[in-house]
Amino acid sequence: MRVDVVMPQMGESIAEGTITRWMKQVGDMVSRDEPIFEISTDKVDAEIPSPAAGRLIEIKNAAGETVPVNQVVAVLETDASAAVSAAPAVAVAPATATAPAPAAAAAPPAPAKAPASSPEPTRTEGAFVSPVVRKIAAEHGVDPESIPGTGAGGRVTKKDIQDFIAKGGAKAAPATAAPTAPSMPAAAPAVTFAPGARVERQQMSPMRKKIAEHMIEPRRTSAHVNSVFEVDMTRIVAMREKYKPVYEERHGTKLTMTPFFVKAACDGLRSFPVVNSSVEGSEIVYKKDLNIGVAVALEWGLIVPVVRNADELSIAGLTKKINDLAERARAKKLLPDEVQGGTFTITNPGIFGGLYGLPIINQPQVAILGIGGIEKRPVVVADAIAIRSMMYLSMSYDHRVVDGAVADQFLAMVKKGLQEFDESLL
């Protein structure tokens, strides 16, 4: 029998581990609980014992690779006499609710008629079954794969399964009759199918996983509120055009818009320190340093390098620093401490023409500034209609500590800082 060796979850908040060393090689015999590889997760090194006795027949990830928890990293053959791959490794879940035959591996699933509709006989691998649906399915002894899904990509929604059960779908298969595949390793992910859904299943990259965690966390923690201001950027657009060649020549760097926003934000943060704070328990922690995170979109995700003590840099200094960080972010050459310790974040939802975005706060910070797209619009200036380069400036802030009045005063100050930008700073 084959037993999967997975990246273990060394802690609730640990999503991945880096394999530092294989202590056993393919072909080696290992006993149960004998260490087979070592992993490293920031301040913790751990050796991982074998889940069973047997021969190591496959190593999927080499030393140095970072692997999400519960992903299979190696395979053991526990049956000494087993020929190479006599049986398929993947156990197939019970075919249908109406025919709860034991999950014999490799048995071609007979097209079975589900009560509510006729799913295509061909099973499409990989549809996602949500934990809620899986739980309800288990409680009622229903095979979620036999239920027609109405959700995205044929996904079975909570309502689908409830309707299915209400129509008597569950009666055909009492809970006790749901067998578990005896040969299925406990840690193997459940293989799920949705009738008729053409899907492809892909493991999230460690970065994707981190982003996912990092994005859901503030939603649970912060009390998000949004404000949007309109800013006349005509002056800055002109200034940038004027100084672009000068910067190329004098500083060897491209003058972008970002340094203007960082500068204006710093001035606002100094005047409204609570916007640069964090919440720890019942305390507000005011950060004395203005470490501004600047979101950089990457082809494979998103990263927020941090400009430390941004208020101490000139516009030229900011330009160089930001360009350098962004470049190295794209080249995957940022140092770990260059993405940590941010106290406030600026992101630019406007790069593809969006008017504005309402970003998620970057915990443990309490506010994030969103830069909308700049476009020429007719506006009223001194009771006349003029063509100006306009932009929406949005901010999401944590209402636990930042009240609307403070946020709006902060934004008003940033707006003023941008509209009346001091040219001598360039």
Partner 1 sequence: MSRLRCAFLGRVPYEDAARLQERLVALRRSGESDDLLLLLSHPPVITLGRNAAADHVLISDDDRLAAGIELHEAGRGGDVTFHGPGQLVGYPIVALREGRRDAHRYLRDLEDGLIATAAAYGIAAARVPGLTGVWVGDAKLAAIGVRIGTGWITSHGFALNVGRDLAGFDAIVPCGIRDRSVTSLTGLLGRELALADVARTAARCVAGALGYEAVWEESALANDSIAGLSWPPVAGGPR
Closest CA to 50 of 142, 158, 187, 170: 187
Nearer to partner 1, 324 or 408 (CB): 324
Nearer to partner 1 (CB atom), residue 291 or residue 323 = 291
Considering the candidates 143, 399, 408, 422, report the single residue annotated as catalytic: 399
* C-alpha closest to that of 370 among 388, 390, 391, 389: 391
Is-contact 325 338, C-beta < 8 A?
Answer: yes
Helix H or strand E encompassing 218? helix 206-221
By beta-carbon proximity to partner 1, the closer residue of 122 and 340 is: 340
Closest distance to partner 1 from the beta carbon of 10 (Å): 4
The 8 Å CB, 24+ separation contacts for 385-391 are 388/232, 388/233, 388/234, 389/232, 389/233, 389/234, 389/237, 390/230, 390/231, 390/232, 390/233, 391/230, 391/231, 391/233, 391/350
Interacting residues toward partner 1 by CB under 8 A: 10-14, 20, 33-35, 40-49, 308, 336-337, 340-341, 364
> Residue 425 in contact with residue 240, Cβ under 8 Å?
no
Give min distance, CB of 67 to partner 1, in A: 15
Quote the least distance from Cβ 215 to partner 1, whole Å: 17
Closest CA to 195 of 139, 138, 126: 126
What distance in Å separates the CA atoms of residue 211 and residue 360, rounded to the nearest whole number? 11
Residue with tokens 């751990």: 46
**Annotated catalytic residue 79:** no
Nearer CB in complex with partner 1: 23/90: 23
For residue 41, what are the β-bridge partners? 44
Helix 158-166 vs helix 131-140: crossing angle, to nearest 10: 20
* Angle CA 258–263–269, to nearest 5: 120
Nearer to partner 1, 49 or 111 (CB): 49
Q: Which CB, 40 or 61, lies closer to partner 1? A: 40
At residue 307, what are phi and psi to the nearest 5 degrees?
A: -90, 105
Min CB(223)–partner 1 separation in Å:
19
- Dihedrals φ, ψ of 397, to 5°? -140, 160
Q: Among this protein's residues, is 399 annotated catalytic?
A: yes
> Smallest gap, in angstroms, from Cβ of residue 364 to partner 1?
6
- C-beta of residue 407 within 8 angstroms of C-beta of residue 271: no
DSSP result, 106-174: TPPPPP---SS----SSEEET----HHHHHHHHHHT--GGGSPP-SGGGPPPHHHHHHHHHTTTTTTS-
Nearer to partner 1, 40 or 130 (CB): 40
CB of 398 to partner 1, least distance (A): 15
Specify the residue, 18 or 258, whose C-beta has the smaller distance to partner 1: 18
The answer to whether residues 255 and 247 touch, using CB atoms and an 8 Å cutoff, is yes
Q: Could you tell me the smallest distance in angstroms from the CB atom of residue 337 to partner 1? A: 6
Q: How far apart are CA 25 and CA 2, in angstroms?
A: 16
Least CB distance to partner 1 at residue 188 (A): 22
**Catalytic site positions:** 399, 403
